[in-house]
Structure 1
Amino acid sequence: MTVTIENGQLIAKIAEKGAELQSLQSRDTSREYIWQADPEYWGKHAPILFPIVGALKDGRYRYEGQEYELPRHGFARDREFTVIEQTQDSVTLQLVADEATRTVYPFDFALNVHYELGGEGLQVRYEVHNPSQKELFFSIGGHPAFNVPLEDNLTFEDYYLAFSPMKSRIELPLSGNFIDMSQRTLGATNTNLRLTHDLFQNDALIYETKGLTSVTIASEKSPHSVRVAFNDMAYVGIWTPYPKAAPFLCIEPWAGVADTTDATGELTEKLGIQKLAPGATFRTKYAIIVK
């Protein structure tokens, strides 16, 4: 099932499977900003990454002496969520732990995903609640993919990325699917970054982020753009598949990140892992602003 929310400017569609944003359109022009999941390139729109972000070494982790397996980016994107609240311009979907999740992830949790339209954008809010009597360890992130180009007469290479604030950030290179901390460098996010597919020949670009951050996809040849803004995410990933010349780009705010090349496999020691006390609730959000 798919839920539709709308206001005077925008219409958004969200699937109950994975609580995945599937469409964000201008009401006036019908311009579609979200990638429409052509399987020739990548068959998803904007999956939610939970309870891990990225890949685990050997696809496994350990917790309290037991070993578990999780696929890359976790399981939330493949689970059915329940709509628990809906208005004309907002919806909240929920996933709670069950017998199936506990076999691969031995924690109780309630994950709420809230979408709300306002003005020229869509706010996406994540809430993770720990109903148990033990600490909850998790990561969470967004993976929205945007059409690039946003106009038929332009190309991927006509666009650039603009970072705000315009300053250098630590870049975390990947070695295979894993972060190689020994190769950390200073990323050139203090200037606009012209898009080419060759930028992604080593997979995603990953940057450390602190405080209010935004990343904009824009072109000098068009008034139309997409900006992703967030305040409480420690990392952002930017990705399009390589070597395919795919007509989309993902901007992914993350509260967590893939395993490092020297990861121990212990969940509690994982880079970027969130630790939530019994009875507590973790909250974070990001916004998609379109023109």
Structure 2
Amino acid sequence: MDYIIKNTILQVVISSKGAELQSIKSQHNDYEYLWQADPNVWGRHAPVLFPIVGRLKNDEYTYQGETYHMTQHGFARDMEFIVEQQTAESITFLLKDTLETRKIYPFKFELRVNYNLLNNLLEENFSVTNKSAGEMIFGIGGHPGFNIPTTNSISKEDYYFSTKPSVARVQIPLKGSYLDWDNRSLASTNSLITLSDHLFKNDALIFQMRGHDNKVSLKTETSAFHVNVWLRDAPFVGVWSQYPQTADYVCIEPWWGIADRSDTNGKLEDKYGMNHLAHDATFTAGFGMAFHD
């Protein structure tokens, strides 16, 4: 089922399936900021990634000597959430573990996904509570895809990414679907990165983000349109678009978790980038998306 929150600037539609954004429209000109899930290119809008981000090696992991199978980005994006709270400008979705989830992820949890509007800013907030008797291990992240408005005079290549603070950051390449850890390097995120289809020929660009209040912006000098994604304290960000089949969209993905390293031992307890949460404790994180046209 779809739910709507709105203010005088934005109207946002979210589905209870996956607590996934379906639409982010300008109230001024009806422009659609969110990618509309063309199944011939990429058939999603903005999935919630939980309890892993990225792919596990061979789609499996071990925990306390048992082997479990889980596909890329986890199961939350395909599950039905319930609405816990809603106002005109805010909504909170809730997902709890089930017998089926515990067959592939042996933890009891409560996952809340909140969307909140504040002027032209849409916040996506995560809350994870560990209901298991022992420690819980998980990753979580966002994956919003943004439309890139093009015309006869404005092409995709007229757009660029910029980051603030304007400093160089470590980039982690992918080898297949896994982190090529030994070949990470210092990337020039202190300068502009021009958008192009070939930018993603080796899959996502993955950067380690240090500190708080990092921002990734998608802009062009040829129009007033731009999107700012405030990463807050996300330790990683992925920038991605489908390749070689392409379209006018790009994803800016704040992550509190990451794909397996190619040299992983497969143990969940040792998986790089995961969050460890004590019994009855709650983890909170989130990011903001500001829209301008």
TM-score of the superposed pair, with normalisation by structure 2? 0.98
Identity in percent = 44
Q: Distance in 1 between matches of 2:154 and 2:70?
A: 39
Q: Distance in 1 between matches of 2:187 and 2:48?
A: 26
Q: Show structure 1 runs of 5+ residues with no match.
A: none
- Structure 2 equivalent of residue 257 of structure 1: 258
**Conservation of the 8 A alpha-carbon contact between 1:149 and 1:159:** no
Greater shift in the superposed pair: 91-100 or 240-249: 240-249
**Residue 57 of structure 1 pairs with residue 57 of structure 2:** yes
- Structure 2 equivalent of residue 274 of structure 1: 275
Q: Deviations over 1:17-49 (max 9, x none)?
A: 000011111101111100000111101000000
The amino acid across from 1:229 in the alignment is W
What is the deviation of 1:151? 5.8
What is the deviation of 1:290? 0.4
Superposition pairs of residues 110-189 of structure 1, within 5 angstroms: 110-149=110-149, 153-189=153-189
What is the deviation of 1:149? 2.6
Greater shift in the superposed pair: 70-79 or 223-232: 223-232
**Conservation of the 8 A alpha-carbon contact between 2:41 and 2:242:** yes
**Corresponding residue SS for 2:215:** strand
Q: Deviations over 1:177-226 (max 9, x none)?
A: 00011101011101011111111100000000022211111000010111
- Structure 2 equivalent of residue 88 of structure 1: 88
**Conservation of the 8 A alpha-carbon contact between 2:150 and 2:248:** no
Q: Distance in 2 between matches of 1:123 and 1:151?
A: 29
- Structure 2 equivalent of residue 77 of structure 1: 77
What is the deviation of 1:243? 1.0
What is the deviation of 1:120? 1.0
Q: Deviations over 1:67-112 (max 9, x none)?
A: 0000000000000000000000000001000101000000000000
Provide the aligned length of Structure 1 versus Structure 2: 291
**Corresponding residue SS for 1:103:** helix
Superposition pairs of residues 170-209 of structure 1, within 5 angstroms: 170-209=170-209
The amino acid across from 1:256 in the alignment is G
TM-score of the superposed pair, with normalisation by structure 1? 0.98
> Which aligned runs of 4 or more in structure 1 are off by greater than 3 angstroms?
150-153
What's the C-alpha RMSD, in Å, of the aligned pairs? 1.0
Q: Deviations over 1:131-182 (max 9, x none)?
A: 2221000000000000013667522111000111111000000000000111
The amino acid across from 2:219 in the alignment is A
Q: Show structure 2 runs of 5+ residues with no match.
A: none
The amino acid across from 2:265 in the alignment is T
**Conservation of the 8 A alpha-carbon contact between 1:33 and 1:150:** no
**Conservation of the 8 A alpha-carbon contact between 2:216 and 2:231:** no
Q: Distance in 2 between matches of 1:44 and 1:88?
A: 25
